[in-house]
């Protein structure tokens, strides 16, 4: 009998009309909190524990990951190191010298994201700790500037701009840091015929094909040519910049003799304790020395290349005009054969009473 009543109840459900709700819903309270969401799990990439590595070990661990085969690991490791160097005070337990020894080979990395993070990291390094390593840094910058990949070449220019910003004086006066970068510039700009006894400009027969070869190809490659000239202008401006001699006072002649030298290797150019260098690897410490070798070996090629770029017009022509102005300003008072710069002249004036 109970089963019969249950069946009748189920049949009545088929003929029941559902009651529809009409009108506006009841407004929610002002302090209503929606709790309808659900969270399945919370996952932490690194569980915190009492035996977690200390900050020094963690820094060294990420430094070791900069040589990882995975691009994303190298990128993330450099990002972490850059964040540590940007703190106040900066967190660098290994020192700038060891850090550069590990990171400089990454300048020619195949990943653009990795190179970008490296540049961000380098900008956080103290300038005073970078200056003693300028010659070693320039070796890797030159390797990036002459790389087969155009993207790496462009980032090599960014590295050189960074180094000029923090240590321009040390760059242009370092051993092998004046002539060799100039040779790299005129080579990548197409202003120096390979194997020629003297710098000459590669010129076509005429027409639109007379433009420098670095302006052809994809759009991003064509934009590299003006930037190369712009960084060259910055490099030449640093090398041709005149020093500001201090006002002479009585007794300065003695202080000039007894004062400790500011350079790390003040008599290195004499080559007393090192094998003799060739002209390319020499250290040109004075402005006149740098202008002499530039005038003798590179000025003709650079002037001809600038004239050709100015005739091309556009972005290349505007940048060439900037480079031309830097050349005019830097070589305006140049006299061929003069070896005494302004600072030396001021010192000699102090001797002559």
Q: How far apart are CA 350 and CA 9, in angstroms?
A: 120
Residue showing tokens 């103290």: 126
Q: Nearest 5°: phi and psi at 175?
A: -65, 125
State if pTM tops 0.85: no
Q: How many residues does the chain have?
A: 353
Amino acid 226: pLDDT: 93
Secondary structure (DSSP) of 178-229: SHHHHHHHHHHTT-S-TT-SS------SSGGGGS-GGG-SSHHHHTHHHHHH
Contact 180, 281 (CB under 8 A): yes
Amino acid 277: pLDDT: 61
Model pLDDT for residues 22-33, shown as the tens digit of each residue:
777 778 887 777
Q: Nearest 5°: phi and psi at 300?
A: -60, -45
Amino acid 182: pLDDT: 95
Give CA 341 to chain center in angstroms: 31
Amino acid 223: pLDDT: 82
Tokens of 284: 């040109």
Nearest to 236 by CA among 281, 190, 192, 301: 301
Low-confidence ranges of the chain (pLDDT < 50): 193-220, 244-251, 253-254, 340-353
- Burial code (b: 16+ CB inside 10 Å, e: under 16) for 111-131 equals beebbbbbbbbbeebeeeebb
Contact 74, 114 (CB under 8 A): yes
Contact 341, 287 (CB under 8 A): yes
Amino acid 264: pLDDT: 52
Q: How far apart are CA 233 and CA 251, in angstroms?
A: 39
């Amino acid at each position: 009998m109970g089963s019969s009543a249950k069946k009748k109840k189920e049949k009545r459900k088929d003929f029941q009309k559902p009651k529809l709700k009409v009108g506006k819903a009841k407004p929610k309270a002002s302090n209503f909190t929606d709790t309808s969401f659900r969270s399945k799990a919370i996952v932490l990439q690194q569980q915190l524990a009492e035996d977690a590595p200390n900050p020094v070990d963690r820094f060294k661990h990420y430094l070791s990951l900069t040589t990882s085969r995975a691009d994303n690991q190298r990128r993330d490791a450099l990002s972490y190191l850059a964040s540590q160097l940007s703190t106040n005070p900066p967190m660098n337990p290994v020192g700038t010298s060891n850090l550069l020894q590990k990171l400089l080979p990454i300048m020619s990395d195949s990943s653009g994201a990795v190179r970008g993070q490296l540049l961000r990291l380098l900008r956080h390094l103290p300038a005073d700790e970078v200056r003693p390593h300028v010659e070693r840094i320039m070796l890797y910058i030159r390797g990036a500037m002459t790389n087969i990949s155009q993207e790496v070449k462009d980032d090599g220019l960014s590295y050189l701009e960074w180094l000029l910003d923090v240590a321009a004086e040390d760059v242009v006066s370092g051993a092998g840091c004046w002539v060799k970068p100039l040779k790299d510039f005129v080579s990548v700009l197409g202003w120096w015929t390979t194997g020629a006894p003297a710098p000459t400009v590669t010129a076509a027969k005429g027409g639109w094909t007379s433009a420098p070869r670095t302006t052809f190809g994809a759009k991003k490659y064509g934009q590299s040519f003006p930037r190369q000239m712009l960084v060259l202008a910055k490099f030449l401006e640093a090398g041709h910049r005149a020093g500001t001699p201090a006002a002479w006072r009585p007794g300065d002649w003695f202080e000039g003799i007894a004062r400790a030298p500011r350079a790390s290797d003040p008599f290195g150019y004499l080559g007393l304790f090192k094998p003799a260098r060739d002209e390319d690897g020499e250290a040109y410490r004075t402005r006149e020395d740098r202008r002499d070798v530039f005038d003798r070996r590179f000025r003709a090629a650079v002037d001809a290349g600038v004239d050709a770029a100015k005739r091309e017009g556009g972005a290349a022509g505007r940048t060439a005009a900037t480079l031309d102005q830097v050349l005019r300003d830097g070589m305006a008072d140049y006299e061929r054969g003069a070896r005494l710069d302004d600072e030396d002249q001021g010192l000699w004036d102090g001797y002559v009473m």
